[in-house]
Each structure stands twice: as structure tokens, then as C-alpha cells.
Amino acid sequence: MLSCALFIFLAGPPSWVPAKTSDVTRLTLDRIFASPDFRPERSRALKWLDTGDYLMLQPSQTLKNGNDIVQFDKAGNSKIVVHAELLVPHGTKQPLDIHGYEWSPDRDLWLIYTNSARVWRLNTRGDYWLLRRSTGRLVKLGSDARPSTLMFAKLSPDGTKVGYVRDNQLYVQPVNGDAPTKITSDGTAEVINGTFDWVYEEEFSCHDGWRWSPDSKQIAYWQIDTRGVKTFTLVDNTSGTYPTLKTFAYPKTGERNSLCRIGVVSASGGSTKWLNIPGDTRTDYYIPRMDWAANAREIAIQRINRLQNSLDVILADTNNGKIRSILTERDGAWVDVHDDAGQWINRGQQITWISERDGWRHLYLASRDGRNFHRVTGGDFDIIRVVRVAEKAGFVYFLASPDEPTRQYLYRAALNGNGKAERLTPVAQPGWHDYNIAPDGMSAVHTVSTFGTPPTIELIELPTHRTIRTLAKNDRLRETVSKLDKTAVEFFRVDIGGGTMLDGWLMKPPGFNPARKYPLFFYVYGEPAGQTVTDRWAGNRYLWHLMLAQQGYVVACIDNRGTPCPRGRDWRKSAYRQIGTLASHDQAAACRALLKRPYLDSQRVGVWGWSGGGSMTLNLLFRHPDLYRVGMSVAPVPDMRLYDTIYQERYMGLPSDNAEDYKRGSPLTHAAGLKGRLLLVHGSGDDNCHYQGTELLTNRLVELNKPFTLMTYPNRSHSVDEGANTTRHLYSLLTRYINEHLPVSVTNGRGKELP
């Protein structure tokens, strides 16, 4: 026992143990995940006023733990419009912790959101208070409601009423403090008014499920009826002596969806008038977007078929029930539902639209009568996102990067379609640029970062891009990062044959020696939902990759075809009915091309990914065991048939029509190919990519007598971050596994390290 302990002491801790060090040039797990060293400076949320002034929360100078709502003009002058002292409820001493706010047209009435709680992966439930600034009266909405149970409270356009969702019912309450009126009566756990079920929320980003009419007299809302939808159950074994169950509607591929319909009800109550939208939303259609169509009589609805390759914009008259289609978008693969489309301009006579019909993603204008449709932007490049349509100024501001799909810049174009788009981001500022533009289009909040450089947030003037003031410098974080031992990241393109070039980045170890052989470790995603090769700050994930590079790994990342890069419609849609198949082919081809570099060791190649990247890791490890020796898969979907209808069918079609491609693309099908080391990580409380899939893969690997390692995090969700120390523990596990099974150095068998 003594000799064994002495040996361990002399040999030192394993390489995966994070050494405690005061060396500012080195990274450890504790520095990244358990210290304040890399904590970014917080920039408080900014809300624009129509005048171009803006509102921000500022710490109160007179009340501890309080925040004032402060108005700033472009010159930097400020005034407090809501003092923290006004936000102290009667009988308490602490002010409300402001999680959100809005105001009436006269800015006397303020709606304060606080005490938010998570619903699935979003903070959408909470408490709401009304403050009358002129009198100081502070009233809680739905005062008899349980804490954190109100959703999506909104002031009416005329500022006389506030509506909200409570227990799947819609309420309207006068701002004078009178009792609320429940304007729906059929809401239950299965019949959802004013919000959404899991799949609409997750895959169509549907959250707030109701809209005030412009005249404040009516409310239009979604109703989701989940009755008849098969349910999924999560088992919580850690919260009590006996397990507790959480069951919710979750339509897996090929299964029945919820019934979805749009209703209009008077703000004073009464019966709901249901719009007669053709098609059965349980089997054939979805309704992902709805809003009033620039008047109080018509509602604009986006209806997309189940295959998601045909989308109609429909106008519904709420008086006579008549409907008419003004626009149809079709694609041989799928049609994306865009949040930055559907804005009415020209006194409601035109609507903005995003289309890929000419092979590139561009902005169009469609007339209200459906007769005219013309393109605003043009050229062989994609609009990444429309940031602001400044109608009075006659411009649309959008993000694009015609020559560098790994970067993002601000452009503007004339709304009439004349002339070329103008780049507003200075040419001397490469990287990733985001903008929050004022309604008048004359100023913006500009956030810029690059790979390995934390973001700076500033207020700028447009179109000059002149900095007015800096809102968050992140100087301390930037200085800390600058001291880290590292080499410059390499952005590259790799030829995988057939004229296909893939974008990638690569991090080399500090003190890189081209005469040595280094292990190659990939970070992968590869699904149509995300782009990973970007010249932007990636926070703790970047720092963890840099820590591995400091240990001697070459870390790389590739975006395969089918990822949402701004490289044209054909690039993105090439993955149709080939999810898992085309991407794994591209990733393996890129890996082989990279291994032609003499300093990379073809016998030491590893890969890791999360969610879709976890699935991709499995596909690469199973399909290409000659290449990938180690894989770490977090929260994967081993069998695509187990995922939800909206996401998976969008890219793969219906399993009844495409069973072979579902099978071919799923990692479970190829499990027999496993030869390398596999670490599976999953949270048992994952409502998104269910732990069920990992259990099915476990059964298959056991049946095949394949060795692997499984780590289950009890009751953790898809993010695997709930509970004390969970994130730190997870990355310690990943670090230990790669250090043990993909060693930085190799020996000749006699203890001598080989080059």
C-alpha cells in the first residue's frame, strides 16, 4: 500500500487533473468554469424610443439592489424616468428585480416583468406589475395567481388595458385596477390559449401566442389543442423518495400534431370567432406566424404544409370570415419561416418577404392585393438577416457577407430596389458584427467580436458608423485573454473533391513545431440549424478548446454542406433527405484532406459534439472507424425517428415516404462499425433530445458487444447545466476522456516519447 501510494505521488497527477496555477498564460478547468477570470462585462438591455433616444436599466444610486429606468439621448444626456423607489411593493423593502418592461404611449404607465421562471428552455412565466408614474401606484396583475404563472402581459395600444395569459387562459385587466376579465373559458392542460405546445415553441420559435388589434378592441390568439397527440414522460428520480413524472405532448416523426387554430375575441369578453383556415393542422399543416395586417379588420397568417415546402400568406377578414392568399412560397426541399419577414409598409399596401427563389436569400415586397411581387435586394449573395426596415428613410438594413461566409457585416439598400447595396460596416473591421438599429435608422447598438477576441458593444451613428459612445468595453476580459499562450487561429478552405470547398478553422498548440506529430481533435455540429465556423467570440467553448491546444492538441472545426452558411440556396438545401449521410461524408472527406498536413497524426484523431453534433460524432465514429479513434457525444439523437415532427420532417420528409433515408442517416444503423473509444453523455431530464435514444443505442452496443462509456446526468435538461458544479464536472469528464484516450504524446514502448 505504501509503495503504491508513493508511486502515485512521485508520478504526479494524471494530465487531466486541472492544476492550480497562478500562471496567467495558462488555462485550467477551474479558471474557465469556476473563477471570475473570464466573466464578460454585462451590457444592460437597451430599448429604443421612436425619437431615437433609448432606455436602459441603471443601478440606483439611492436604493440598494434597485435599478432605475433611465432615458438617454444621442448626446449622452440622461434622466431617470422610473426611480427604483417607485418599484417597492407595499409592505416590502426590496424593489422589484426588473426582467423586462414596456410603457404606455404617454410614458406614464409602466408594465414591469419580474420573478421569471423557465418554461422548457425559455424564461416566459413570471409576475407582472403596473406602475402609474404620476401617482406612484404599483399594482400586481392577477394578484391571486400563484407566483411566476403569468405569461406575455402586454399593454393595449391605447394604454387603457393590459392582457396576459394565465393557466392557458387569456385575461384582460383595466389599468385603473379593476378586476380582470377572463376572455377565454376552454383552456386546460391540453387546450392551450395564447401560447404554444413544446414543438411549436422549440421548432418555430413560437412563444407569445396572442396579439392586440391596433384599435385595442380585439385580441387574436392561437389555440393549440394537444388532445390526441402522443405524450412523452420524463422521470425525475432525484427530487424525492419516489420518482415524479413530467408528461407532455411531443409528436415524434410521422405522428399526429396538435390541432392549431386562430381565434378573435373582444377585449371585453364574449365568444371567440374562429378563422376558417383550410387544412387539417393535425396531419397536413402548421400555422407558425400570425398578426394583424396593418388594420383592425384583417389578420395575416402564414400557413405551411407538413412537408414544409409550400408556404401561403393568407389574409383573413375578421368581419365576414373571408380569406384570400396573397403570396405563396415553394421550394423543392423546404421553405424557411423567417422572423424578419412580414412587415407591412406603404400604409399597409405592401408586405416584406424573404425568398430564395432566385438561388439566394433576398428581400422582396409583395402587394396587398397579391398582384405585384418584386425584389428589393439582389446579387449572388445571401441576406443573413434583416435588421430594420426604416420606411421613412427609404432603406432596409440587413446583415450579409458576400465574400466571407464566416463573417457578418451591415449593409443597407434602397427599399425601392434601385441601386446596389451599400456596406456600412467599415472594411477595416473584420469579424462578426451584430446591430440593434433605432426605428429611425439613424443610430444603432453595434456588437463586434472576432475569434478569440471578446465583444465590444457601442452606440454608433448611421450611416457613418461613427462611434457615439461605448456601452461595454470588456477591457478586463480582453486583457486577460490577450495574456493567454496561444497561436493565431487559421481560417481555411479545404477541397473535398467535385469542386466542393468547405470552410474551417484550426487552432495550433502554442510553440507549434511543424516537425512534430500532433493529435487532431474536431468540434462538430453539421446540422441545418447551426453554423460553427465563424469569426466570432465563442466564450467558454473557445477557452476550453484553447486549453486543449495548450495541452498539445490541434483543434479544428468544419462546416459541411447543409449548414446554414450564407453560401446560397443550393448549399443549404443539398442536405435534403440526406441528414446524417451527406454531412458525415463531407466531414470525413475534409478530415482526410487535412491529414495530408505532415504535422497531423492520422492515428490520433478525435471528435466531439453536442445535440446534432452529438449525433454527428456517432455517425463519424461508426461510419469512418478508420479515421476517428475517439468520439465524445453529448445529448445525441441516435435514431432520427425519435425526434419531433417539425424539425426532422422539414429536412427528411415523412418517415412513411422516406424510411430508407431515415434509417441510413441515423447513427443507430451503423453502430456495428464502432472500433474506437466512445463516451456517451446525456441528461436524463432532456425534453428535447430524449435520453430514450441513448438507451436504445446502449442496448444496440451491448448486443454488439461493443465497449463504450456512458455518463448520465440525473434530471438534467438538454443543456446539462442544472445543479451545482454540473458544467464544471461535465467538461472535466470530457477533458479526462480525451487526455486518456487521445494522448498528446506517444512513446516507442520503452518510455521514450516519439516526435
Q: For the chain, give the longest Cα–Cα distance.
A: 90
Q: What is the pLDDT of residues 635-666, one digit of tens each?
A: 999 999 999 999 999 999 999 999 999 999 99
Residue 76 above 90 pLDDT? no
Q: What is the pLDDT of residues 429-475, one digit of tens each?
A: 999 999 999 999 999 999 999 999 999 999 999 999 999 999 999 99
* Cα distance between residue 252 and residue 268, in whole Å: 39
Location of C-alpha cell 433515408: 661
Determine the pLDDT at residue 751. 44
Determine the pLDDT at residue 75. 87
Angle, helices 612-623 vs 581-594, to 10°: value is: 70
Determine the pLDDT at residue 118. 82
Average model confidence (pLDDT) across the chain:
94
Percent of the chain with pLDDT over 70: 95
Average pLDDT over residues 97-124: 89
Average pLDDT over residues 140-157: 94
Average pLDDT over residues 32-54: 91
Determine the pLDDT at residue 740. 97
Give the 3-state secondary structure of residue 43: coil
When pLDDT is cut at 50, 70 and 90, the band that residue 745 belongs to is: confident
Contacts of 3 (CB under 8 A, 6+ apart): none
When pLDDT is cut at 50, 70 and 90, the band that residue 339 belongs to is: confident
Determine the pLDDT at residue 749. 43
Residue 337 identity: V
Determine the pLDDT at residue 746. 67
Location of C-alpha cell 473557445: 542
Q: What is the pLDDT of residues 246-277, one digit of tens each?
A: 999 999 999 999 999 999 999 999 999 999 99
- Residue 734 has what DSSP assignment? H
Task: Yes or no: say if 498 and 527 are a contact pair by the CB < 8 Å rule.
Answer: no
Residue 13 above 80 pLDDT? no
Determine the pLDDT at residue 10. 28
Determine the pLDDT at residue 753. 57
Task: Yes or no: say if 160 and 108 are a contact pair by the CB < 8 Å rule.
Answer: no
Residue 43 above 80 pLDDT? no
When pLDDT is cut at 50, 70 and 90, the band that residue 22 belongs to is: confident
Reading phi first (left if > 0) and then psi (alpha if -120 to 50, else beta), residue 652 is in alpha
Determine the pLDDT at residue 748. 44
Residue 18 above 90 pLDDT? no
Residue 16 identity: W
Domains of the chain, each with CATH number or no CATH? 15-40+479-741 (3.40.50.1820), 45-182 (no CATH), 185-331 (2.140.10.30), 338-450 (2.120.10.30)
Average pLDDT over residues 40-45: 81
